[in-house]
Amino acid sequence: MRSEPLHDRHILLIEDDHDTRDVMQMMLEACEADVVAVGTAEEALGHITAERFDAVVSDLSMPQESGFWLIWRIRQLGRHVPVVAVTGRPFTRELAVRAGFDAYLQKPVDRETLCAAVLDAIASPSPRDD
């Protein structure tokens, strides 16, 4: 059996919509990722400070704190984890890249695209890496 590209990768997924979060979690798990899924940026920050992740997949538009707030906090903490932005708003691509996201996906996203984007973000050297 061929190993999937995210085999044993520890991924943090942040998505406020419960149904979308469940579907995206299933997609990542189908690529053999180990996924922690949460509904808010605040919850995500708690996990990021307590655990090591190979990558983060974050919605940009969430109630309370946005994905933009989360990327700012992650980078402020000195975390060099790759972060993939996922959103339904096409005008945010440039903003996401300037804010420090390593990749950007437009919803709806399919499993192959999601898993490939996460793998590419993990594999790509980041200018923020030590």
Q: How many Å apart are CA 74 and CA 26, to the nearest integer?
A: 25
CATH number, residue 65: 3.40.50.2300
Residue 31 counted as domain residue:
yes
Contact at 8 Å (CB) between 72 and 97? no
Say what angle helices 41-50 and 67-76 make with each other, to 10 degrees.
20
Residue 54 counted as domain residue:
yes
Contact at 8 Å (CB) between 12 and 53? yes
- Cis check for the bond before 125: say yes or no (omega within 30 of 0): no
Question: pLDDT of 113-128, one tens digit each?
Answer: 999 999 999 998 655 4
The pTM assigned to this predicted structure is: 0.91
Residue 130 counted as domain residue:
no
Over residues 13-19, mean pLDDT: 97
Residue 5 counted as domain residue:
no
Task: Write out the residue range of the structural domain in which residue 30 sits.
Answer: 10-123
Residue 3 counted as domain residue:
no
Residue 37 has pLDDT above 50, yes or no: yes
Question: pLDDT of 59-102, one tens digit each?
Answer: 999 888 999 999 999 999 988 899 999 998 877 788 898 999 99
Residue 18 counted as domain residue:
yes
Residue 83 counted as domain residue:
yes
Name the domain count of the chain: 1
